Amino acid sequence: MSVEVKVPTLGESVSEATIGQWLKQPGEAVKADEPIASLETDKVAIEVMSPVAGVMGAQIVKEGDNVAVGALIATIEDGTPAAGAEPVAERTEAPVAPASASEAPVAAEDPVTLSPAVRRAVLEHGIDPASIKGSGKDGRITKEDVLAAAAAKSAAPAPAASAPAAPAPAPASSGGRAEERVKMTRLRQTIAKRLKSAQETAALLTTFNDVDMSAVIATREKYKDLFEKKHGVKLGFMSFFAKASCLALKDIPAVNAQIQGDEIVYFDYVDLSVAVSAPNGLVVPVVRDVDSMSFAEIEKAIAGYGKKAKEGTLTMDEMKGGTFTISNGGVFGGLMSTPIINPPQSAVLGLHRIEDRPVVRNGEIVIRPMMYIALSYDHRLIDGREAVTALKTIKEAIEDPARLLIDL
Mind listing the pLDDT tens digit for each residue in 394-406?
999 999 998 888 7
Query: What is the model's pLDDT at position 109?
Result: 35
Rounded mean pLDDT, 67-83: 80
pLDDT above 90 for 388: yes
Which of the two residues, 86 and 264, has the higher pLDDT score? 264
**336: helix, strand or coil:** coil
Neighbours of 66 (CB within 10 A): 12
Q: From CA 278, how far away is CA 275, in angstroms rounded?
A: 10
Neighbours of 198 (CB within 10 A): 19
pTM greater than the 0.75 cutoff? no
Neighbours of 321 (CB within 10 A): 12
Query: What is the model's pLDDT at position 9?
Result: 80
Rounded mean pLDDT, 342-357: 95
Query: What is the model's pLDDT at position 90?
Result: 41
Which of the two residues, 217 and 43, has the higher pLDDT score? 217
Query: What is the model's pLDDT at position 104?
Result: 35
65 and 19 Cβ atoms separated by less than 8 Å: yes
Rounded mean pLDDT, 213-224: 95
Q: From CA 360, how far away is CA 209, in angstroms rounded?
A: 15
pLDDT above 70 for 99: no
Strands (E), 69-116: 72-77
pLDDT above 60 for 84: no
Start-to-end CA distance of the chain, whole Å, equals 69
Catalytic residue check, 379: yes
Which of the two residues, 118 and 239, has the higher pLDDT score? 239
Which of the two residues, 228 and 184, has the higher pLDDT score? 228
Q: What is the pLDDT confidence band of residue 339, given thresholds at 50, 70 and 90?
A: very high
Chosen CATH of 2-88 out of 2.60.120.260, 3.40.190.10, 2.40.50.100, 3.40.50.2300: 2.40.50.100
Rounded mean pLDDT, 344-364: 95
pLDDT above 50 for 100: no
Task: Return the minimum-mean-pLDDT range out of 110-124, 147-161, 205-219, 295-309.
Answer: 110-124
276 and 284 Cβ atoms separated by less than 8 Å: yes
Query: What is the model's pLDDT at position 88?
Result: 41
Domain locations in the chain as residue ranges: 2-88, 92-154, 195-406
Rounded mean pLDDT, 62-71: 86
pLDDT above 70 for 85: no
Q: What is the pLDDT confidence band of residue 133, given thresholds at 50, 70 and 90?
A: confident
pLDDT above 50 for 268: yes
Q: What is the pLDDT confidence band of residue 39, given thresholds at 50, 70 and 90?
A: confident
User: What is the chain's mean pLDDT, rounded?
Assistant: 82
Q: How far is CA 207 from the centre of its chain?
A: 25
Q: What is the pLDDT confidence band of residue 142, given thresholds at 50, 70 and 90?
A: confident
Closest CA to 74 of 62, 66, 64: 62
Domain 195-406 has CATH 3.30.559.10: yes
Among candidate residues 42, 379, 400, 407, the one labeled active-site is 379
Question: Quick one: fold of 92-154?
Answer: Dihydrolipoamide Transferase (4.10.320)
